[in-house]
Structure 1
Amino acid sequence: MDAFAHLGERVRSALSTRGFETPTEPQRRAIPTLASGDHGLVIAPTGTGKTETAMLPVFDAIASKRDSEGTPFGISALYVTPLRALNRDMRERLDWWAEELQLDVDVRHGDTTQYQRGKQADDPPDVLVTTPETLQAMLTGKKLRRALSDVDHVVVDEVHELAASKRGAQMAIGLERLRELADEFQCIGLSATVGDPEEVGKFLTGDRGCSIVEVEAGSKLDLRVLTPEVTEEDERLGGTLMTKPDVASHVRAIRDIVEANDSTLVFVNTRQTAEALGSRFKKLETNIGIHHGSLSKEARIDVEDRFKAGSLDALLCTSSMELGIDVGRIDHVVQYQSPREVSRLLQRVGRAGHRRDVVSRGTVVATMPDDTFESLAICRRAERGQVEPANIHHGSLDTVANQIVGLVMDFGDIGAMRAYDIVTRAYPFREVTREQFREVCRELSSNRILWIAEEEDRLEKSGGTWQYFYANLSMIPDEATYAVEDMASGRQVGTLDERFVVNFAQPGEVFIQRGEMWRITEVDDEEEAVKVTPVEDPGGEVPSWVGQEIPVPYDVAQDVGDLRYDARQRFEVGEDRPTVARWVVEGYPTDDHTASEALEQLERHTQAMPASDRLVVESYGREIVLNACFGHKVNETLGRLLSALLGQQTGSSVGMEIDPYRIELEVPGGTSATDVLTLLRETDPDHVASLIELSLKNADALKFKLAQVAAKFGSLKRWQGSGSRQFGRSRLLEALRDTPMYDEAVREILHEDLDVDGAADVLRRVQSGALSVETVTERTPVGMGGRSSGQELLSPENADASVIETVRERIQEDRVLLFCLHCQDWERRQQVGRVPDQPECPLCGSTRVAALNPWADEVIDAVRSGDKDDEQRKRTERAYRSANLVQSHGKQAVVALAARGVGAHNAARIIAKLREDEDDFYRDILQQERRYARTKSFWD
């Protein structure tokens, strides 16, 4: 009651009417501070009354000010949430209090009607619930600026979500723009999970001081990690679901949990997994709805309402349901496969219970040893409250560009240095230099987004200012979405992101949406549509793409390394698997069967064991694997560094795949583990950043990012012209190389996908001896135990016969360019199926015939060229490698070379494999095509 004593009589009376007799823990600790007007960050589990913790002192302050100073014209408090759907929920939660205290609460976002907006401008509410983007628009409205000048409080909900994104960086400057109108106001942040409260407090307040109240979530969790035992029912179910019995056991275990509870959320990590798992539940006629960001707003609201009403037993969802959208009471949360991050597990499992003093119950269904050990490490870190820090975007220059235009819209014209001072008051931009700021202004001016009055150093509106501003209210990349249309019915099935369409969508590919399988028949860039037909056979191919994976953090990967190492040490001293399993169960939330299943891999692993302070390099033939427990970003950075340096040394491309515990390299002949060790020991850690940037220069990932950043600078329209949206990304990269846009695109990739500092630290530790390195000359059980990207959900490990037939038919129907390297006069484009068993030149009779991509005219030009540059020499070498294969292996080589992304080196490996069945030949081709699809966006 002491906390409530800090509130005025009217609010205390409302508390009594509402039945709030005693404060919750966050209310007890935070209300006194917030009631005094201090900035505050409240971190507490879902369902502990965070909203009331923030809003009761705010309501009290508004009511008290009204009593002493009269009713102000404008808005007294803004409540900012990252999702429109949260706005709806928050309005409903606050309405009761507002009515009781005779205050007005309203909502404003992109869907608010024009009539309602006008009403809010003429008669502003006391409290306005809104989104960061709508705040941007409000700051420029004449009447709304007057209304905003009365703001005394800003509450930011789910502040961790905004702190880690450019939307949040934009909001941080937006709040500084608001201070130009309203002077100082109180900032209150709310979240269930923040790993670095002091940093997020600075983000929230512009480093103006922030009181932090943190209530540990770990004590309110009941977690377990489960790998189901395979039963006879699973053996039968595997046949029904066209999958392996152990995968069927995952589906059955989730079904059992759903049936044992009234309402369950089943979280997965990617939309692909949601669709694949959803299709299995649909086959079982389980009462589960699917909810993710690719579905239409209407489809999402429909399943939310049906779940809330109890007509659905469960929702299968991605991060779309993490942020507390009100779908009623939730009894249990299932996480399928590792949640990858502590913060994600806490956000997701925190949805269960969602009431005061109720323990949140969650089950992680683990599918393989990596998955199990990772989930155990994350659960223990969650119980200890060890949450990852927010990944704040510091100094993002496209956000600076966006907000400079916002300031010009606010004031009509503004001094450049005044604009600079406002921007750099925001915490993420405190280190932006004046020269960087000037470069951004000059770029905006050259794009005619604003004018620079040189003599006065003032920024002024231009003809393009208004249009740019309203087209760029959001910092979410303006990525096109393609409608997915069922050709048979003409109805829209859903949407696909531009990134998927550009990189992977080709006629014949199969993907899953809304739990059903579809084959692409046509991609229409002009209409932004993908036309599809349904696939009846549920054993069909899983898509050869994976959504962007949630990166496993360094600290989690280190814990996994130590857990596996400690377990292996017990095997070393003679303990059997049941004994080691009991040791795992004593320290982690799991059962004997789950622990034992994961430990089987370690029991077989008799070679050197990787750990947090030990790197194990294994090699076999052309495969070199670094067992490195450093997480996704460090391993991605190290992998790129090593493959780029090895490629430079050998003049050949180096294949790379990474996961949080391994870096797998496919190296040219003659390259050994010793070469890798030499690079680890001799590469200067201080040069990692420049080497990585060099390796990025032609990467598709950089070109795609640069196009997004250029759009936020208003530059893209200058370079796009008419025609396909896949217009010259390479030309764009060359045109923008020495601009702030290029710098920002590189910064963003380094920030989101890589960890240069972490990789440099690994090199320093190797070179100082703090990180030991051991080598083995064979593949190890742990080294071969990497993830399979969830593709096992729909098809057995050996692809279904119908899939193999589809691959065979596609390749046989594809065209190939045949070119004689002996006389260099004969070339022909021909269907693969019509190529003879041993191709030969009809002009000179030579069998030295290269099989090339049907559009590879530049390769023929390179071969015929007398004075070759470096690129032409490489193309010529590739042509001769292809011809040597065709000369030795005939049509089999042509088939392998016609596959997507295979190339002569991988074709040779596929052909050299001993196999009894031709189907296995096509299985190996399919596996290589999938591997290429997963990694091609990073390499030319």
Structure 2
Amino acid sequence: MNAFSKLHPRIREMLAQQSIQEPTPPQEQAIPAILAGENVLLIAPTGTGKTEAAALPIFHKILSKEHQGTQAVYITPLRALNRDMLRRFHEWGEKLQVSVAVRHGDTSQADRRKQSLRPPELLITTPETLQVILTGKRLRKNLASVRMVVVDEIHEMASSKRGSQLAVLLERLAENAGDFQRIGLSATVGSPDIVARLLVGNFRSYKIIQADVKRASDLRVVSPKPTRADYAMASTLECDPSLAAQIRFIRETTRSRKCLIFVNTRQAAEVLGSRFRQLGEPIGVHHGSLSVEARVEAEEAFKGGALRGLICTSSMELGIDIGDVDHVIQYSSPREVSRLLQRVGRAGHKIGLISSGTIIATCADDVAEACAIARRAAAAQLEPIQIHEKPMDVLANQIVGLEMDFGDIRLEKAYQIFNRAYPFRDLTMEEMRGVLAQVEEHRLTRVQDDIIQRTRKAREYYIENLSMIPDEKRYNVYDIVGRRSVGTLDEAFVVSFARPGATFVTKGEIWEISEVEEDEIKVVPIHRSGEIPSWTGEEIPVPFEVAQEVGRIRREIREALEAGCSEEQAAEQLREKYPVD
């Protein structure tokens, strides 16, 4: 008897047809708890079946009860993950006769209308789209039957204001549907209790399941030194010899192993991508400022083997299915332990396989930082997650959201809803009145006799401010030769650079601007050099604990050199303590 024996007979039959006999450790631990109705935070390494650990009980509960409307909502932080989940769940849904649909900003009007008239039993969406759904009369009614909500990759939102917004959003959904079961999934969490509280709120019980799955990992830090050949390549690529050495290391690695090459910024992705394109290497580029078509094309090419390497930002950090990955290269320090573990976990994406990764340090300070992070990763010393406590901009945004939900709502009732959300557990009525006064000043609400009332401006504000992700005006880049969108550029770069005849890099390719319109830049592909665009919001902070360890490494090296050690001896001392070549 294992956890699968508790599932609906049709699910067991489907698993048997797929030759799936035994549950993985996370599934064995989580499925009984979820079937019992407990709120669960499941923490398990990538590739150990944690998605199925939540999905199988969802299908079981849908099959076991006769209800109209949407029974379960599956929330992910990215549209790309939505598409990926739809592919995975759609096959199960067809076999089990359970309707599954995805809804986000790219969903067509026809599909939206279909979902409105015939709501799917399992809805896959993002927090921002759920914000919209809750305010629609018919859609809101469809969600009144929700009994389970899964938040996938919850760590990705927990430490940002999206997490605080999501916590309130779940309480708004509970006002509409009644209390429901909550399940959170993550591969890496530094503060499980805080994340669990963010998921379930202040007054509900929860169970944290940290699946004990031993995933061997092999992490090394390297800093390639330029060779004579690298100097020649630097001349060809018009770059520094150090960069040429790093490119040579990546090229050699991808020729023997299929690699994801993580970078910290879109700018770095384009710098590397354009050089590999010059060299004719089968290495693609994937980041959030490329069009959906360009990203999907890169994913499919990598999955199918046409690409040996894929340069990516955090856009590929989460669980998007891109097939087997042999090795992960992190270009420059990943800045955070949890980020490194999440990224390296994409390699050896199955139980029993080794997750192997290499950090390419780009300078001496980068070596120290990469060493500190690699050591802490091997020791599983994740940085604690710090949520945003009582973020007043989120409070203002969600006050308007409650107006959209209810039309009129008593101040005390609104306060109780906020107070149930963990980030607002210490919110005082005085603080809420203060924010409410500012919202009223902007004519986004009206307060009479302690009743919050909706205004005409409220809906426009709400729809324009669905997300807590900082926004910047973006220009669509349109290839007039290929007749398709390539990606987007930020306004700051366009204003300072874009003019007909100017050349720039995106998707690792060079483009010449043909025409600049109000919201679009028309381009044609060319074969000469171009400017690397800059995008906003790309800095990753270094945790305090990592910075302190970097300081200790620098001090120890300085003391060794002052004591008369040679540079090679000092380096050897570093190699004894840290996984550095």
Assess, with a 3 A threshold, how the Cα gap between structure 1 residues 248 and 206 changes in structure 2: closer, same or farther: same
- Higher deviation after alignment, 77-86 or 106-115: 106-115
Residue of structure 2 equivalent to 1:839: none
Alpha carbons 2:29, 2:211 under 8 Å: kept: no
Assess, with a 3 A threshold, how the Cα gap between structure 1 residues 348 and 61 changes in structure 2: closer, same or farther: same
Trace 1:448-527 onto structure 2 (pairs within 5 A).
448-452=443-447, 454=448, 456-483=449-476, 494-501=487-494, 505=497, 512-515=505-508, 527=518
After superposition, give the CA deviation of every residue in 1:650-686 in whole Å (9 maximum; x if it has no partner). Answer: xxxxxxxxxxxxxxxxxxxxxxxxxxxxxxxxxxxxx
Residue of structure 1 equivalent to 2:73: 78
Alpha carbons 2:489, 2:533 under 8 Å: kept: no
SS at match of 1:464: helix
After superposition, give the CA deviation of every residue in 1:105-141 in whole Å (9 maximum; x if it has no partner). Answer: 2222222233333333333222111111121122122
Distance 2:287 2:492 in 1: 17
State the superposition RMSD in angstroms.
Answer: 3.1
Distance 1:516 1:46 in 2: 32
From 266, 280, 294, the equivalent of 2:275 is 280
Does residue 412 of structure 2 align to residue 417 of structure 1? yes
From 240, 243, 251, the equivalent of 2:239 is 243
Distance 2:58 2:512 in 1: 54
From 245, 248, 260, the equivalent of 1:252 is 248
Distance 2:84 2:511 in 1: 35
Alpha carbons 1:219, 1:383 under 8 Å: kept: no
Alpha carbons 1:41, 1:201 under 8 Å: kept: yes
From 524, 527, 538, the equivalent of 1:548 is 538
Does residue 553 of structure 2 align to residue 563 of structure 1? yes
Distance 1:338 1:393 in 2: 25
Distance 2:108 2:520 in 1: 29
Residue of structure 2 equivalent to 1:205: 200
Trace 1:257-406 onto structure 2 (pairs within 5 A).
257-261=253-257, 263-406=258-401
CA drift at 1:245: 2.5
After superposition, give the CA deviation of every residue in 1:725-758 in whole Å (9 maximum; x if it has no partner). Answer: xxxxxxxxxxxxxxxxxxxxxxxxxxxxxxxxxx
**TM-score normalised by structure 2 residue count:** 0.91
**TM-score normalised by structure 1 residue count:** 0.57
After superposition, give the CA deviation of every residue in 1:144-203 in whole Å (9 maximum; x if it has no partner). Answer: 333222211110001011112222222211110111122211111011111111111110
Does residue 109 of structure 2 align to residue 114 of structure 1? yes
Assess, with a 3 A threshold, how the Cα gap between structure 1 residues 9 and 490 changes in structure 2: closer, same or farther: closer
Trace 1:9-48 onto structure 2 (pairs within 5 A).
9-48=9-48
Residue of structure 2 equivalent to 1:585: 575
From 218, 227, 230, the equivalent of 1:231 is 227
After superposition, give the CA deviation of every residue in 1:276-323 in whole Å (9 maximum; x if it has no partner). Answer: 111211221111111112222222222222222222222111111112
Distance 2:195 2:240 in 1: 45
Seq. identity, %:
52
SS at match of 1:128: strand
- Higher deviation after alignment, 299-308 or 437-446: 437-446
CA drift at 1:483: 4.4
Distance 1:17 1:490 in 2: 44
SS at match of 2:145: coil
Does residue 168 of structure 2 align to residue 173 of structure 1? yes
Alpha carbons 2:155, 2:188 under 8 Å: kept: yes
Alpha carbons 2:490, 2:536 under 8 Å: kept: no
CA drift at 1:60: 2.5
Alpha carbons 1:486, 1:534 under 8 Å: kept: yes
CA drift at 1:6: 4.3
Trace 1:665-676 onto structure 2 (pairs within 5 A).
none
Assess, with a 3 A threshold, how the Cα gap between structure 1 residues 23 and 218 changes in structure 2: closer, same or farther: closer
Distance 1:489 1:564 in 2: 51
Distance 1:128 1:24 in 2: 25
SS at match of 1:431: coil
Alpha carbons 1:153, 1:185 under 8 Å: kept: yes
Residue of structure 1 equivalent to 2:186: 191
CA drift at 1:212: 1.2
Distance 2:562 2:446 in 1: 72
CA drift at 1:385: 1.4
Distance 1:22 1:586 in 2: 42
Distance 1:367 1:133 in 2: 37
Assess, with a 3 A threshold, how the Cα gap between structure 1 residues 239 and 88 changes in structure 2: closer, same or farther: same
Distance 2:35 2:476 in 1: 50
Assess, with a 3 A threshold, how the Cα gap between structure 1 residues 510 and 433 changes in structure 2: closer, same or farther: farther
Alpha carbons 1:187, 1:204 under 8 Å: kept: yes
SS at match of 1:435: helix
Assess, with a 3 A threshold, how the Cα gap between structure 1 residues 547 and 107 changes in structure 2: closer, same or farther: closer
After superposition, give the CA deviation of every residue in 1:462-497 in whole Å (9 maximum; x if it has no partner). Answer: 222333333333233342113458999999764322
Assess, with a 3 A threshold, how the Cα gap between structure 1 residues 205 and 113 changes in structure 2: closer, same or farther: same
Trace 1:784-795 onto structure 2 (pairs within 5 A).
none
Trace 1:638-717 onto structure 2 (pairs within 5 A).
none
SS at match of 1:303: helix
SS at match of 1:149: helix
Residue of structure 2 equivalent to 1:693: none
Distance 2:214 2:376 in 1: 9
SS at match of 1:269: coil
Alpha carbons 1:272, 1:547 under 8 Å: kept: no
From 120, 124, 129, the equivalent of 2:124 is 129
Distance 2:68 2:29 in 1: 33
CA drift at 1:16: 3.0
Structure 1 segments unaligned to the other structure (5+ residues): 592-940
Alpha carbons 2:264, 2:314 under 8 Å: kept: yes
Assess, with a 3 A threshold, how the Cα gap between structure 1 residues 139 and 547 changes in structure 2: closer, same or farther: closer
Alpha carbons 1:73, 1:123 under 8 Å: kept: no
Alpha carbons 1:505, 1:520 under 8 Å: kept: no
Assess, with a 3 A threshold, how the Cα gap between structure 1 residues 361 and 490 changes in structure 2: closer, same or farther: closer
Look up the equivalent residue of 1:585 and give its one-letter code. Answer: R
Distance 2:19 2:550 in 1: 46
Assess, with a 3 A threshold, how the Cα gap between structure 1 residues 106 and 542 changes in structure 2: closer, same or farther: closer
SS at match of 2:54: helix
Look up the equivalent residue of 1:552 and give its one-letter code. Answer: V
Q: Which has the larger radius of gyration?
A: 1
Look up the equivalent residue of 1:167 and give its one-letter code. Answer: R
CA drift at 1:335: 0.9
- Higher deviation after alignment, 526-535 or 251-260: 526-535
CA drift at 1:349: 1.3
Distance 1:333 1:93 in 2: 24
After superposition, give the CA deviation of every residue in 1:673-709 in whole Å (9 maximum; x if it has no partner). Answer: xxxxxxxxxxxxxxxxxxxxxxxxxxxxxxxxxxxxx
Alpha carbons 1:203, 1:426 under 8 Å: kept: yes
Alpha carbons 1:509, 1:543 under 8 Å: kept: no
Alpha carbons 1:217, 1:383 under 8 Å: kept: no
SS at match of 1:335: strand
Assess, with a 3 A threshold, how the Cα gap between structure 1 residues 506 and 80 changes in structure 2: closer, same or farther: closer
Alpha carbons 2:474, 2:489 under 8 Å: kept: yes
Distance 1:418 1:179 in 2: 13
SS at match of 2:208: strand
Residue of structure 2 equivalent to 1:929: none
Look up the equivalent residue of 1:26 and give its one-letter code. Answer: P
Alpha carbons 1:76, 1:151 under 8 Å: kept: yes
Distance 1:274 1:434 in 2: 47
- Higher deviation after alignment, 337-346 or 422-431: 422-431
Look up the equivalent residue of 2:355 and give its one-letter code. Answer: S
Assess, with a 3 A threshold, how the Cα gap between structure 1 residues 10 and 299 changes in structure 2: closer, same or farther: closer
Look up the equivalent residue of 1:200 and give its one-letter code. Answer: V
